[in-house]
Structure 1
Amino acid sequence: MTRPLGGPPRVVLFFPEGTCSNKKALLKFKPGAFIAGVPVQPVLIRYPNSLDTTSWAWRGPGVLKVLWLTASQPCSIVDVEFLPVYQPSPEESRDPTLYANNVQRVMAQALGIPATECEFVGSLPVIVVGRLKVALEPQLWELRKVLRKAGLSPGCVDAGAEPGQSRMISQEEFARQLQLSDPQTAAGAFSYFQQDAKGLVDFRDVALALAALDGGRSLEELTRLAFELFAKEHTEGPGRLLYKDGFSTILHLLLGSPRPAATTLHADLCQAGPSQGLSLCEFQNFSLHDPLYGKLFSTYLRPPHTPRGTSQTPNASSRGSPTALANGTGQVPKQKGD
C-alpha cells in the first residue's frame, strides 16, 4: 500500500501464487508482490460449496467448463477472510523471497493446508529441490504412457544415436524409427521433444528418453550414456566435457527441469574447477552420489511401479518423493484434521 502526496492510500491487489490450483495446498508465492518490503494485508478466499466447480488446475476441466459449471449452480458461496496486516521484519523487507515464504506459511496455516514449494514456470508445475527446479511430473512419464498405449516397448527401438553428434530428424523419420504407424500417436510422442525452427528434433534426445524409459540400464549406465551422448571434446585438453547446453538438455529430458534453472546449476557446479564443463566423474558424482540430487535422479528415473493405466507420479507423501525432497523432509506436512 502506498500513499501519494496529499492523497488517499493506494491499494494494489496481488494473487501471489500467480495461477490457480486445486485448493489442496498453497503454491509457492512469487516474490514480486513483496519487493517493496511494505506491510501486506493477507486475504483468504474460500468456496464452501457442496459441489466444487471452481477448481481450475493444470490438469482436469478447462477454464470454459469451469465457468459453465459454476454459472449453472443455483447459488455459489464465497467466503472472504481478512487476516491481520503482516508487518515485515527488517530482514524480510530486504529479502522478498523470505518475506513471500513467511506470508505463504501464515496463510496456509490459516487455511489448514500445506504450504508447498510447488510453483509454475509457464504452464509447467515445478518444485524447487536445492538449487534446481524440477517438474512435478516430467514429460518423460507422459511419453511412457503414449508409447505403452501404442504397444511399443522402448527397449525394442534401435536408437543408433552417435555420441556427441547431433542428428536432427523429422516427425516422419521419428515415426519410422519408433515404428509408430498411427500418425496421431506419432505426433503426440514427437511433441514431447524440443523442436528447432524447422520442426526437427535431435535424435540424441529421443535416444536418451527411450533408454530412461526402457528400465534395463542401471542409473550408472544411464548417466554414462547421457554423458556420452551430449559431452563434447575439451577445447583446451584431452577428454570430453559436458557443457551447459548438454547438461541442461539432460536435466530437461530426465527431470523436466526448465533449461534456465539447469544452466544456472551447471555454472555453480563448474565454479570449483578451471573449465566450464563437467567430466564424467563430476557429472556422476552430481547425479548419483550427491545426497540431494542423487535421490532426485533415483526418484524420477526409477518411480514406484503402479498398475497400468494409473498415474506414474510418486506418492507425494512417500519418503523420497520429489515434494518430500523439496521440503527437506520425508513427508509432506499433514493437512488440518489428518
Structure 2
Amino acid sequence: MQFTQPVYVKREDPDSRVNTIKEISRRAQSKGEWPQVIIFPEGTCTNRSCLITFKPGAFYPGQPVQPVCIRYPNKFDTITWTWEGPGAFTLLWLTLCQFHNYMEIEYLPVYYPTPEDKQDAKVFANHVRDKMAECLKCPITDHTYDDCRLMVRAAKLNLPMATGLVEFHKLHKKLGISFAQMHDHLEKFRKITDNKAGSITIKEFAMYLRLPVSSTLQEIFDTYDRNSSGTIDFREYIIGLSLVSGPANTEDTIKLAFQLFDSENNGYITEDGLTTILHNAFGMNKDDVHELFEDADKDKDGKISYDEFQQQAADKPDYAKIFVAYQNMVNKNGHPEPAQEENQKAKTE
C-alpha cells in the first residue's frame, strides 16, 4: 500500500474526509508532480448491476477527469464481492477454477468540467456518472456507502439486509436526517416489527402503540404506507416520522393533548381518566390502557405528569397523529360520552 502512495481515509471520521479532500486537491493541482490520481468514486463494492452515488471527493478540485469503465465478461461471475454473498476466499477459489478470466478496461474521453461543475462537486460527479452509466449501459441509483452501513446494522438486528437500503443521502438532503438518527430509527423499527419480511403490518403497528385496530389507526397507518402495499417498510417509516408524525409532534400539540386527557385539571393524568377517554374514543380495553399507563408512568406513582407525557410522546412520535385525531374528535363532538353498558359488553365480546 505504501508503494502505491494512497490517500488514507477513515470513512466515519469527518476530519479524515476533510483531509482527504485537501490531499486530493493538492495532488490534482500539483502542476505535473502527480500526473494522475486514480479514484474509485463509488467508495464501496457493488454487484455492478447499477452505478451508485459517486462521492464528491474526486471532483472538488474542479480538474478534468478521465472516466474508466471496467467489465468482467465471464460466463460465471466470480469477481463480485459485496456485503451479501460468497466471501473473498470463496470467490478467489472459484476464480482459479475457471480456465479463463476476462476483464475489459475502457478509457472514455477526458471530461472537462463546465462552470456549473466547478461550482458544485456533486453536480460534477453526477455528470461523470451519467457518462459512465451510458457507456456501461446500466442504470444509476442514489444509494451510497452509508446504505451499506445501515444494511450491516439491519443484519445485526436480525432484519433482512435490504431493510437498510433507503437511499440515505437523498433522505438526508430532503429531510435533514443524520446518520445517527437513522441508526436510532432502525432500532425503533426493529422493536415494532417481528416478521421476516422486515416490514410493519397494521397489527404490529397497533401492538406497538398499544391501540386496537380501528378506522382512526388504519387512517394513520395508510399515511405511512405510501405505496399502499399493506405494510410499512423502513424507508416509509422514516418518511412518515418526518412528514407525518414529526410536524404534528409539536410542544403545542403535546400540551393541548395533555390538557384534554387531564379532564379534571389536576395537573396529571390518572389511569381511570385515561381509561375512560381511550375506551370511548378508540375502543381500548382496560388491560391495554393499563399497559400503556404503566409504560408512561416512569416513576410509578400512579399518575402521569406532563414531563412523563412529553417523554412518552418523544419516545413514540407516532402518537402525535393519535393526539391530533382525538383533538379533532373533541373539537367536533366534545369529550366522547361514556358508552352504554350494552355497547361495552358488545365491544368486549
The two structures have a TM-score, normalised by structure 2, of 0.44
Q: Which structure's residues are more often strand, by fraction?
A: 1
Q: Which structure's residues are more often helix, by fraction?
A: 2
**Which has the higher relative contact order, 1 or 2, with Cα contacts under 8 A spaced 6 or more apart?**
1
The two structures have a TM-score, normalised by structure 1, of 0.45
Rg comparison, structure with higher value: 2
